[in-house]
Amino acid sequence: MRILGIDPGERRVGIAVSDPLLITAQGLDTFDTKSGIDLIDHVRDLVGRYEVAEIVVGNPVGLSGEEGEASAKATELARRLRESLSVPVTLWDERLSTREANRVLRGERAGKGAVDKVAAVIILQSYLDYRRRSG
């Protein structure tokens, strides 16, 4: 069993997957929304390939806790995934994950999708850590 983490974005979507023991998150290739491939179909393929039992979608709520446009889009993506796939989908507060990814990559010669990939890893790792602490 694995968990898939998604950092939704306008142009690029960061994706990460857990190891089978649900301890660590590893980044996968960043999905380009302009590729002509449907994101839901891509996620469906990943769910089958990695035997994913749950999907975590980063929800970029504001620092005040209010939902903005990006949060509404993440909520809509989670709804579409729930309707299209037979695995549970969890919205996960991802405040500051992109800022943290930029901090991690500071000074690196990172490609355009690197920040999105690292943000997805940060989102999924925080969810895995929460699950472990919560028992």
The full set of domains in the chain, from first to last, is: 2-134 (3.30.420.140)
pLDDT at 102: 55
Alpha carbon dihedral 1, 11, 116, 70, in 10-degree steps, equals: -80
Sequential pLDDT tens for the chain (135 residues): 999 999 998 899 999 999 999 999 999 999 999 988 999 999 999 999 999 999 999 998 766 667 778 899 999 999 999 999 999 999 998 865 556 655 555 655 556 667 888 889 999 999 999 999 997
pTM above 0.75, yes or no: yes
pLDDT at 107: 54
2 — phi, psi (to 5°)?
-135, 165
C-alpha to C-alpha distance for 79 and 39, rounded to whole angstroms? 13
C-alpha to C-alpha distance for 39 and 48, rounded to whole angstroms? 14
